Chains A and B, each alone.
Chain A
Amino acid sequence: MEEVPQGCPGTGSAQAGRGASCQGCPNQRLCASGAGAAPDPAIEEIKEKMKTVKHKILVLSGKGGVGKSTFSAHLAHGLAEDENTQVALLDIDICGPSIPKIMGLEGEQVHQSGSGWSPVFVEDNLGVMSVGFLLSSPDDAVIWRGPKKNGMIKQFLRDVDWGEVDYLIVDTPPGTSDEHLSAVQYLSAAHIDGAVIITTPQEVSLQDVRKEINFCHKVKLPIIGVVENMSVFICPKCKKETQIFPPTTGGAEVMCQDLKIPLLGKVPLDPHIGKSCDKGQSFLMDAPDSPATFAYRSIIQRIQEFCGHHPPKEEHFLSS
């Protein structure tokens, strides 16, 4: 266990590449050369670019398959129902870009203009960007290591011409790795309103979500709150409730109480959600009377209230 460089001093520190724990690390020479110490110029460029974006929300989980993309898409749809609200949805899941399908934009391509890449518009006030739009076939695999993924995320943040946007929603892949570090790092000068963390009720999800919450604390990312997805299943025939994913340790409610984080809401498992996503349609429109739709709308409202009460400042507290 001593061979794993757990005591990494950090690429920006004076000890980078020189500390005892750097021995054997594949980046040792790079760090020792001082390359890691200089701040990336892209951070300032992105800060400039983000001046036209009022609110930035990261949708995180830690656990895969809990419904981050589903939630991000419907948060975007919900906010964009007000045609005076400009919404942007950025998918930084480089390996598994689900957003094009969920938004009904499969096969769309990205166009370049003088001011950068143009997002693909679902509605006049809802623009989307994803690596999915850069792939020519649905079978194309993006088999990239960390540094290349980071480069793509930098481009998405710096080179996409979002225009005047009220809400930028960033959908992330599961985990606590390159994509998450890069998103936070590149947006560090631009003020992120906060993170919405998605989970399902089971302990196997909560286990990973606690790590994600720790990640947020480590990088000083405010947490707007937690959404518990797939809370309960209502049988379409007999209308009785079953917990398909039992909250063996109390679900998100107990975790949020323990960690003193707001629980934004619980969304029941409605089989129509999956179908709407597969068809690329807004579930909120497809099933306006579903209990899941009511749950989504209430959560969206709480997120808007959070953003309203925490207006963007010129200077902010995230360290780069």
Chain B
Amino acid sequence: MEAAVGVRHIILVLSGKGGVGKSTISTELALALRHAGKKVGILDVDLCGPSIPRMLRAQGRAVHQCDSGWVPVFVDQEQSISLMSVGFLLESPDEAVVWRGPKKNALIKQFVADVAWGQLDYLVVDTPPGTSDEHMAAVEALRPYSPLGALVVTTPQAVSVGDVRRELTFCRKTGLQVVGVVENMSGFVCPHCAECTNVFSRGGGEVLASLAGVPFLGSVPLDPELTRSLEEGQDFIRDFPKSPAFPALFSIAQKVMSEAPARLS
């Protein structure tokens, strides 16, 4: 299977904890890499909760076949971002994928082996929360196509760090190189009085990075414009350069571009 051979770097976005912003960070990382001139693919292996099609305004698109396999969906006219998600295979957006492990594993193997990704600088792989079937299947299926690295996302809370520590163990056990930790939802600046509140506590990202001995890539604050932009499938990086979340996201992408080649070789 030659499908992912043309991909130069593969980054798994992991957490362990649900709802910390893996899909958000995956999408924003892809957009930022695209703005830096890279060709990017996104593989969404969250089979139960495939969020990415909506975030890139690609819901309802059809997946076609070609000689080398399934054609990923291009989310933009310039064909600089391609996407594969189980979301495209569902008959209706409310259809639940109620599958046990083996069936999930089989589909993930197909997504890796049978999708004609072509030549890509980066393949960003968005995962569901946890350390189970999807994660093992993704790592096993992607391993032949090294280099393979992980970006780990947490929120500042200890409850989140508690779960994400286990994800870091997963990375160690499966030989996944951790490119760095991103702390999401780091504080909220009230639009009325500019007071910054630590809505989800503070400090978790740096604690986690230091516990695991990996780089801390940055904190992304809460920004309702970012949330709204994702809901509506907008290009946040293009539309909101003045948002408080923008510098953090941009810097994280820069660090991935400069660190990934070194750490993953």
> Which residues of B are at the interface with A, using a C-beta cutoff of 8 A?
16-20, 23, 48-49, 51, 54-55, 63, 89, 93-107, 110, 128-133, 135-136, 155, 157-159, 162-163, 165-170, 173-174, 188, 190-193, 195, 197-201, 222, 224, 227-228, 230-232
Contact across chains for B17 and A278 when beta carbons are under 8 A apart: no
> Which residues of A are at the interface with B, using a C-beta cutoff of 8 A?
1, 3-5, 8, 24-27, 62-66, 69, 94-96, 98, 101-102, 106, 138-147, 149, 173-178, 180-181, 202-204, 207-208, 210-215, 218, 233, 235-238, 240, 242-246, 248-249, 269, 271, 274-275, 277-278
Chain A residues whose CB sits within 8 angstroms of the CB of B191 once the complex forms? 242
CB distance from B35 to the nearest CB of A (A): 22
Contact across chains for A4 and B110 when beta carbons are under 8 A apart: yes
Q: How far is the CA of A8 from the CA of B48 in the complex (A)?
A: 17
Contact across chains for B162 and A238 when beta carbons are under 8 A apart: no
Contact across chains for B19 and A174 when beta carbons are under 8 A apart: yes
CB distance from A117 to the nearest CB of B (A): 22
Contact across chains for A65 and B19 when beta carbons are under 8 A apart: yes
Closest to B52 in A: A204
Q: Name, among A64, A146, A212, A269, the residue most crowded by chain B CB atoms within 10 Å (CB to CB).
A: A64
A-B contact pairs, 28 of them (CB 8 A): A25-B106, A26-B106, A62-B49, A65-B17, A65-B19, A94-B132, A102-B159, A138-B166, A139-B166, A145-B101, A145-B133, A145-B136, A146-B101, A146-B102, A146-B133, A174-B128, A177-B48, A177-B99, A177-B101, A177-B104, A207-B49, A207-B54, A233-B197, A242-B224, A243-B224, A244-B227, A245-B224, A246-B227
Q: Interface majority SS on A: helix, strand, loop or mixed?
A: loop
Closest to A211 in B: B96
Known A175-B128, A215-B98; judge A244-B136 contact (CB<8 A).
no
Chain A residues whose CB sits within 8 angstroms of the CB of B166 once the complex forms? 95-96, 138-142
Contact across chains for B131 and A174 when beta carbons are under 8 A apart: no
Chain A residues whose CB sits within 8 angstroms of the CB of B201 once the complex forms? 271, 274-275, 278
